[in-house]
Chains A and B, each alone.
Chain A
Amino acid sequence: MINKIWGFFIIVGIIFMLIFGRVTELNDTILTSATSGVNMILDLLPIIVLWSGIMKIAEKSGLLNSIGNFMKPVLSKLFPSLKKDSKALGYITSNIAANAMGLGSAATPFGLKAMEEMQKENKNKDTASDAMITFLVLNTSGVTIIPTTVIALRMMHGSSNPEEIIITAILATIAASFAGLTLDYIRRRKRK
C-alpha cells in the first residue's frame, strides 16, 4: 500500500509538471527535497533524543507500570470477553500506557504480545475476535499525551506557542476514541 502511494505521488506530480512545462521548477523541487528532508530530521533530532532519555527514566522507575495498573479497571470494562487477571489485559494496558507516553517503539512489542495472548483464546484462528478489534480501535485512535514530534516541528518553524496544541490534540483524541469504541460496541452487540 505504502509503495503504491509513494509511487503515485511522484509519478503524478512529475507528469503533471511536465505537461504544464514547469521543467525548471520540477528540477528545483527534486534537487532541494533532499535538503528539506535533512532539515526536517535535524529539526526532530534534538527533541527525539531528549525525550527518549526522559522516557527511559519513566520506564526504569516503574512509572509506566504504575500508570498501567491505574488504568486497568477502566480498560477491563471495555473487554468483557477477557478475564480480569488475563495476561492479554496486562499487555493491553502496558501498550496503551506506553502509547500515551509517546513511547511508540516500546508500545509495539506489548501490542504484539497482547495479540498473541488473545489469539490463544480465539476459536477461529483466521478470524479477528471481538477483543482484538476493540484493542485495535483503541490503539489506532492513538492516545498520546505529549506529541513531541509535532511540538518540535512547530518550535523549529517559529511558533510563538508550540505546545498549545497539546490540549486540542487530547480533546480530538478523546472524541475519536469515544466514536470508535461506540461503533465497535454497537457492531459487537448487533451480531448477538
Chain B
Amino acid sequence: MSYLSKMIIPLFVLFVIFYGYKKKVLIYDSFLEGAKEGLITVFNIFPSILAMVFAINIFLNSNILETIFGVLTPILDKLSLPINILPMAFVRPISGTASLAIMNEIFVNFGPDSFVGRLASTIQGCTDTTIYVLALYFGSIKINKTRYALSTGLFADLIGIIASFIIVSLIF
C-alpha cells in the first residue's frame, strides 16, 4: 500500500510533463506562468490562514474541550483519539482553512505519523467545505430554496469522516 502511494506523485508528474511535451506545449513557460499564479494564491490565502491560526490556537490552548468533554475522554482514549479531532470534524464543512489550522496543530502536538495525525490528514483530504460551496453556488444564481441539498451534503461529510476513521484503523 505504501509503495502504491509512493508511485502516485512521480507517475503523475511524469505523465503531465510527457503529455505536455508530446502536445508541443511550451512546458517550461507554462510552468513559470502557473508558478507565478501559485505565488499569488499563497499571497491571497495568507490573511485567512493567519486569522484562523490565531483563533484556533486560542481556542485549543484554552483546554475548554478537555474540561467540557472530559467525560468523553475515556471513550476517546480507547479509540486512541485526542479530543482535538472533534472541532476539526465540526469545522471541516464550514471552513477548509480552519480545519487545516487544526490539522497543523495536531501535527505539532502528536506528529503527522501518529494515528490522529493520519486520521486528520485523511479527513482533510477526503471532503470539501460543503456549507461554503453551497452558499457560493446557490448564491450565484439566487436560489434560496435548496431543498435537501444541505442535509445530503453533510451526510456525505459525516460518512467521509467515519470512513476515514475505519480506513485509517484498518490500513495502518
Interface positions of A (Cβ within 8 A of B):
1-2, 5-6, 9-10, 12-14, 16-17, 22, 25-26, 29-30, 32-34, 36-38, 40-41, 44-45, 48-63, 99, 105, 108, 111-112, 115-116, 119, 124-128, 132-133, 136-137, 139-142, 144-147, 149-150, 153-154, 157-173, 175-177, 179-180, 183-184, 187
Contacts and interface: CB of A to CB of B under 8 A. Distances in A.
5 contacts: A37-B51, A61-B20, A112-B140, A141-B153, A172-B160
Contacts, number: 337
Question: Which of B23, B93, B156, B168 neighbours the largest number of chain A CB atoms within 10 Å of its CB?
Answer: B156
A183 B155 contact: yes
Q: B interface, how many residues as a size bin?
A: 35 or more
A94 B64 CA distance: 44
Given A157-B111, A176-B156, A116 B126 contact: no
A176 B46 CA distance: 30
Interface stretch (B10-18, B69-77, B78-86): B10-18
Most chain A CB neighbours (cut-off 10 Å) among B27, B38, B113: B38
Interface of B: 1-2, 4-6, 8-9, 12-13, 16-17, 19-20, 23, 25-27, 30-35, 37-39, 41-42, 45-46, 49-64, 67, 91, 93-95, 98, 100-101, 103-104, 107-108, 111-113, 117-118, 121-138, 140-149, 152-153, 155-157, 159-160, 163-164, 167-168, 171-172
Contacts of A13: 55, 58-62, 64
A176 B113 contact: no
Contacts of A167: 1, 4-5, 171
Contacts of B100: 40, 149, 153
Q: Is the interface of A mostly helix, strand, loop or mixed?
A: helix
Contacts of B143: 119, 125-128, 132
B152 A53 contact: no
Contacts of B58: 9-10, 13-14, 17, 26, 29-30, 33
Given A29-B57, A37-B50, A56-B37, A173 B126 contact: yes
Of all A-B residue pairs in the complex, the 4 with the closest CB atoms, nearest first, are: A56-B34, A52-B38, A180-B156, A176-B160
